[in-house]
Amino acid sequence: MNPLVQLVIQELPGLISEIRSLFVTQNPGATPPTDAQVVAAYLAACASSIAVDDAWLASHPPTPVPAPPA
Amino acid sequence: MTIRQEIRRDLVVWIFVVYASVTSIGFAVQSCSSVAQPPPTLAPASIDDFHKTQAIQALDQIRNIAIAANATTPPQMSTASTRLVVSFHEATVKTIQAAGSGWPATIETAVDNFAKGLPAADATVIAPYVALIDALLKGLS
Q: How many domains is chain B built from? A: 2
Shared-domain flag, residues B85 and B50: yes
Shared-domain flag, residues B93 and B128: yes
Which domain, by its residues, includes B24? 1-32
Shared-domain flag, residues B64 and B107: yes
Closest to A13 measured CA to CA, from B36, B141, B12? B12
Shared-domain flag, residues B1 and B61: no
Residue A49 with chain B: CB contacts under 8 Å: 56, 59-60, 63, 89, 93
Is B21 at the interface with chain A, CB within 8 A?
no
Q: Are A23 and B53 within 8 A, CB to CB?
A: no
Is A56 at the interface with chain B, CB within 8 A?
yes
The CA distance from A39 to the nearest CA of chain B, in Å, is 6
Burial class of residue B70, CB neighbours in 10 A (0-12, 13-18, 19+): buried
Which residues does chain B have with pLDDT short of 50?
A: 27-33
Residues B86, A26: C-beta atoms closer than 8 Å: no
Q: Are B22 and A25 within 8 A, CB to CB?
A: no
Q: What DSSP state is assigned to residue B3?
A: H
Minimum Cα–Cα distance from A63: chain B residue = B80
Give the count of Cβ contacts less than 8 A between chain A and B: 89
Q: Are B93 and B56 within 8 A, CB to CB?
A: yes
Shared-domain flag, residues B26 and B49: no
pTM of the prediction? 0.68
Shared-domain flag, residues B129 and B75: yes
Residues B53, A26: C-beta atoms closer than 8 Å: no
Q: What pLDDT, on a 0 to 100 scale, did the predictor assign at position B28?
A: 47
pLDDT tens digit sequence for A4-54 = 677 767 777 776 776 666 655 656 666 788 899 999 999 999 999 999 999
Shared-domain flag, residues B26 and B48: no
Shared-domain flag, residues B95 and B118: yes
Is A51 at the interface with chain B, CB within 8 A?
no
